[in-house]
Amino acid sequence: MTANVLILSAAGMLVSAYLMVGQKALFTTIRLYGLQSLLLAIVATTIAISESRPELFVTASLTVVLKTILIPWFLMRTVDRIGIHREIEPFLNVPVSLLICLGLTVVGYRVSTGFEEGAQQVTHHLIGVALSLLLIGLFLMVTRKKAITQILALLTVENAVFLVAVGVTTGMPLIVELGIAFDVMLAVLVLGILVQRIVGRFESMDVSRLSNLKG
């Protein structure tokens, strides 16, 4: 039962990343990130129960409050304030992007075979999902033009790293988790303000226009 919950939750996180790649509506993309973070909290809660690691309940609670509620709310508020609700045409179209992400998933699972012996209390599937999420997040960062989408890609990478920390290792000290949570929230606030400045200056969230600042 525990293994099934972990596998389904991790698979849901990977599916949410694919949906983010194929999505142009910013509100929907933000909601998908919130769903991905909720599934991460379910993974942490499941491991906390099955392995008697009560500190992971704090991790799961922080994930729900911060990544499922506060960050999506702040990003939606930012998008609504600047009045730009759709991603412009990315550097690569959606079908090509999805095919590349499929290839990145294969690479992620292939690389994860090297960690299989050291995984111990986590499935090979969980490690493969984490590495795939990491690669897909990095791919989104370099192929999207909207600043908000790039922020979400960065947060997806952070979710991938957190999934590895929770599922593969023995976890992080609580003070470290609190510090990371604070850093993530602060980074989102700063990036949100930066997005509003970019829109105020260029009337667009297209980060490629920042090249106009040269000279």
The CA angle 7-180-160, to the nearest 5 degrees, is 30
Summarised one tens digit per residue, pLDDT across range 42-53 is 988 888 888 787
Higher pLDDT, 57 or 116: 57
Residue entry with tokens 């690669």: 135
- How large is the average pLDDT for residues 182-207? 61
Summarised one tens digit per residue, pLDDT across range 52-102 is 878 788 888 888 988 899 889 988 888 887 776 666 566 778 889 899 999
The CA R_g of the chain, rounded to the nearest whole Å, is 17
Q: Of the spans 17-26, 117-126, 142-151, which averages the highest pLDDT?
A: 17-26
- Tell me which DSSP letter residue 207 carries: G
Residue whose C-alpha is closest to residue 76's, from 41, 36, 30, 113: 30
- Tell me which DSSP letter residue 204 carries: S
Across the chain, what does the average pLDDT equal?
78
Quickly list H helices, 51-173: 55-62, 71-82, 94-112, 116-119, 124-143, 147-167
